């Protein structure tokens, strides 16, 4: 377990691993394998991230993707902090595109609730807000989006996807593709689109949680038991 996704779990305890109850709605803004403490604390779950982030991106040779993920999930001030912390002028900030509006809203709500309550109970407040939003809107599955520079639109994340729609969204020249996990009873969806400002960048948005392991691991149906902890 020297590199790869297994190492992702061993993040030195910087993140407090928290179980997510089925009643909580969640958005997971931070990859847990960053080498510095989180700047905000929405629902953080190591399991969540290992489930959502494609193993190819969680690999140790792709740290820039994860820092971009972090930046994409942060406020402007936080992005500045992160950039100065990492000293990375190459780091990019993600525009608040329509693809991320919901996610941004959740981050901001969690941020404000933490500021106002301050401390240990922010998670509870956040969960309550999520519940309210769930009641107000339709079904809100946990969402996570990130961007990466890639020639291919669909990244190999270990799961099997079936395309069920494509749409040209306003003010963009590249269509947005809609995929659904092919596994029975698994309602996870993902959207893939290219950034209008920089077509080299692919924005992938995952919605929902897988109820199974990646298809790669299903080949021999006798995966090590500890793997079950990765996927929720």
Identify the residue among 12, 77, 170, 184 touching DNA (CB under 7 A).
Answer: 170
Beta bridge partners of 193: 203
Binding of residue 203 to DNA (CB under 7 A)? no
**CA-CA distance, 15 to 171, in Å (whole number)?**
39
Sole window of 8-16, 28-36, 57-65, 160-168 interacting with DNA (rule: CB under 7 A): 160-168
Burial of 174 per CB tally in 10 Å (0-12, 13-18, 19+): middle
Angstrom distances, CA of residue 168 to CA of 84, 165, 171, 176: 37, 10, 9, 6
Sole window of 56-64, 121-129, 156-164, 219-227 interacting with DNA (rule: CB under 7 A): 156-164
Binding of residue 98 to DNA (CB under 7 A)? yes
**CA-CA distance, 33 to 14, in Å (whole number)?**
9
Identify the residue among 15, 49, 161, 230 touching DNA (CB under 7 A).
Answer: 161
Sole window of 3-11, 72-80, 118-126, 171-179 interacting with DNA (rule: CB under 7 A): 171-179
Residue with smaller CB distance to DNA, 62 or 169: 169
- DSSP class per residue in 46-94: HHHHHHHS-HHHHSTT-HHHHHHHHHHTS-HHHHHHHHHHHT-TT----
Binding of residue 226 to DNA (CB under 7 A)? no
Angstrom distances, CA of residue 194 to CA of 90, 91, 105, 170: 19, 18, 21, 13
Helix (H, G, I), strand (E, B) or coil at 23: coil
Binding of residue 137 to DNA (CB under 7 A)? yes
Q: How far is CA 60 from the centre of its chain?
A: 17
Sole window of 25-33, 61-69, 103-111, 163-171 interacting with DNA (rule: CB under 7 A): 163-171
**CA-CA distance, 99 to 114, in Å (whole number)?**
25
Residue with smaller CB distance to DNA, 114 or 176: 176
| Shortest separation between residue 145's beta carbon and DNA, angstroms | 11
Binding of residue 195 to DNA (CB under 7 A)? no
Identify the residue among 85, 115, 163, 200 touching DNA (CB under 7 A).
Answer: 163
Binding of residue 90 to DNA (CB under 7 A)? no
Contact positions toward DNA, by CB under 7 A?
98-99, 137-138, 160-167, 169-170, 176-178, 182, 189, 191
């Amino acid at each position: 377990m020297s590199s790869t996704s297994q190492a992702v779990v061993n993040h030195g305890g910087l993140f407090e691993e928290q179980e997510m109850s089925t009643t909580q709605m969640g958005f997971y803004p931070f990859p847990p394998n960053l080498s510095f403490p989180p700047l905000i604390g929405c629902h953080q779950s190591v399991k969540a991230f290992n489930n959502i982030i494609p193993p190819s991106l969680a690999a140790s040779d792709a740290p820039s993707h994860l820092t971009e993920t972090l930046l994409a999930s942060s406020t402007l001030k936080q992005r500045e902090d992160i950039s100065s912390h990492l000293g990375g002028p190459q780091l990019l900030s993600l525009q608040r595109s329509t693809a991320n509006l919901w996610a941004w809203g959740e981050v901001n709500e969690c941020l404000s609730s933490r500021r106002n309550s301050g401390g240990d109970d922010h998670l509870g407040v956040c969960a309550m807000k999520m519940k309210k939003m769930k009641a107000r809107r339709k079904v809100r599955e946990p969402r996570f989006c990130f961007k990466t520079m890639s020639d291919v639109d669909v990244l190999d994340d270990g799961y099997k996807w079936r395309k069920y729609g494509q749409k040209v969204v306003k003010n963009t020249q590249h269509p947005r593709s809609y995929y659904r996990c092919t596994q029975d009873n698994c309602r996870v969806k993902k959207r893939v689109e290219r950034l209008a400002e920089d077509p080299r960048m692919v924005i992938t948005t995952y919605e929902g949680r897988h109820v199974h392991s990646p298809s790669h691991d299903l080949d021999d149906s006798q995966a090590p038991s500890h793997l079950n902890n990765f996927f929720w």
